[in-house]
Structure 1
């Protein structure tokens, strides 16, 4: 379309100013809805990254309920039911699955199937693309954690924290944890060599980390060398942070340091966040490797 500009020498045509492309924020927010619809239309993805921790919590709580309360003080008080003991680790695992496993396999699949390459011909910018992915992880993680807490409270009678400070601690652990796991998921998406190998590449380390980081097994029961290996990775610290929110204070004596080392937890998670950001910038590509 053109407009006509009139000057002293007669009429002159000039191109009309094109409409501005939608902003990255607006397209990114629209992408959140698109990503969520696509996510919940894939049953196996919903099971492994959304319902899996909830189902495991129910299995562990039911299977070990006959053992009674754990962690009781010498006078018999202060113990928690098995559902309450497993809840913090399952919340940490939920963030790992939503951030690392979900993003790594999803982005790898889209890359090797050519979806990311085709984005270059659409108004969606890279910033908008990652806003959509981040929104997907944030919304699904919030829903997943809310479901975990609801199941623990109403199905198994777990007592939840009543101190607002503990919920404030939970908030910053959740946000720092999901940001760290999401960036590591983006970085890990560069490892699979094809869309078919994505699950095979991503799933084993994710499962191993859960077993050695205090999610399924009591951390102080592991050999010292295995505790040291697990302490290198962020899941161990995120699980410990969540235990500091949902377990009584005397459970801190079971941790390697004998206390809730919140400063070190924040430092390690922050360091892994930086590592994930750097690796994402260095390794992420819109097209598959040849």
Structure 2
């Protein structure tokens, strides 16, 4: 006899339909991958239902690109003909990737924990991996969409040249994947730091804002003090900015970098290390219950 079972927590369905073919027809719950896809679709729908959040998320880097590219419009000295809009398209793209992963997950998971959503989910038959897969789909979707909007805006408004060959797009691709993966894992890890939903934004936004200033997002990399560059080099945002500058700026602009080159090998090593380190931090620190729940 087939078993029909529905688990609904925070509007997340995990169903097995009677009369369906496959694992569901034998009475087993769908696997983590299938539930992760369902959860991801739900996360994306819920994201766009919060109109203010969606608009702010996608508008923030575009508005800042407009402001900085307009204020510092013109060719940058010693950058091989690179323009300020080219520089800020790369920087804001990197910041946008970290915003949709680190900042978004750090705040949203902390809120869900404080509101006991995570505790209820943990008490259902849904595999824990499905919850994280859902978050990954959300981060990938919003990260890609925000990046596409930013590149289209930079190309149309400031005539920023996009990569003209496959190598440039492949470089962009692996920087995007490693960067968003490492930042997402760090976002999950830092979500355990806030003691309440009310403090989540302050705890997560402050370090992100500091990193933006010391990683060359808002200030030209050659104008930053050496000690700031050293501190910023410990974190992934600086390396994402540097790698994306290599994609969008002419090769001669590498003279602006502290090492005088784009250092793609080191970028891959640092971002890869943050992916591994972020995973370890998640495994060591992630909690399904808030501190007040014991």
Give the TM-score normalised by the residue count of structure 2.
0.87
What residue in structure 1 maps to residue 279 of structure 2? 277
Q: Which runs of 5+ in 2 are unaligned?
A: 3-24
Whole-angstrom distance in 2 between the partners of 1:204 and 1:47: 21
Query: 2:215 is matched with which residue: 201, 213, 229?
Result: 213
Say whether the 8 Å CA contact 2:110–2:196 is kept in structure 1.
Answer: yes
Q: Where do residues 61-80 of structure 1 align in structure 2 (5 Å cutoff)? A: 61-65=69-73, 68-71=74-77, 78-80=80-82
Whole-angstrom distance in 2 between the partners of 1:18 and 1:231: 53
Say whether the 8 Å CA contact 2:82–2:253 is kept in structure 1.
Answer: no
Q: Which runs of 5+ in 1 are unaligned?
A: 3-16
2:265 match: secondary structure: helix
What residue in structure 2 maps to residue 45 of structure 1? 53
Say whether the 8 Å CA contact 2:78–2:253 is kept in structure 1.
Answer: no
Say whether the 8 Å CA contact 1:88–1:243 is kept in structure 2.
Answer: yes
Whole-angstrom distance in 2 between the partners of 1:254 and 1:147: 27
Shift of 1:289: 1.3
Whole-angstrom distance in 2 between the partners of 1:272 and 1:120: 27
1:196 match: secondary structure: helix
What residue in structure 2 maps to residue 146 of structure 1? 148
Whole-angstrom distance in 1 between the partners of 2:78 and 2:161: 15
Shift of 1:270: 1.1
Shift of 1:104: 0.5
Whole-angstrom distance in 2 between the partners of 1:218 and 1:61: 12
Shift of 1:33: 1.1
Query: 2:63 is matched with which residue: 55, 59, 65?
Result: 55
2:184 match: secondary structure: helix
Higher mean displacement: 33-42 or 183-192: 33-42
Shift of 1:47: 4.3
Say whether the 8 Å CA contact 1:184–1:280 is kept in structure 2.
Answer: yes
1:236 match: secondary structure: helix
What residue in structure 2 maps to residue 5 of structure 1? none
Cα 1:120/1:233, change in 2 over 3 Å: closer
What residue in structure 2 maps to residue 235 of structure 1? 237
Calculate the aligned-residue CA RMSD, in Å. Answer: 1.7
| Larger Rg computed on CA atoms | 1
Shift of 1:215: 0.6
Say whether the 8 Å CA contact 1:71–1:251 is kept in structure 2.
Answer: no
What residue in structure 1 maps to residue 35 of structure 2? 27
Moved over 4 A (4+): none
Whole-angstrom distance in 1 between the partners of 2:47 and 2:98: 17
What residue in structure 2 maps to residue 6 of structure 1? none
Give the TM-score normalised by the residue count of structure 1.
0.89
What residue in structure 2 maps to residue 122 of structure 1? 124
Q: Where do residues 172-183 of structure 1 align in structure 2 (5 Å cutoff)? A: 172-183=174-185
Query: 2:101 is matched with which residue: 94, 99, 102?
Result: 99
What residue in structure 2 maps to residue 82 of structure 1? 84
Whole-angstrom distance in 2 between the partners of 1:249 and 1:178: 25
Shift of 1:44: 4.2
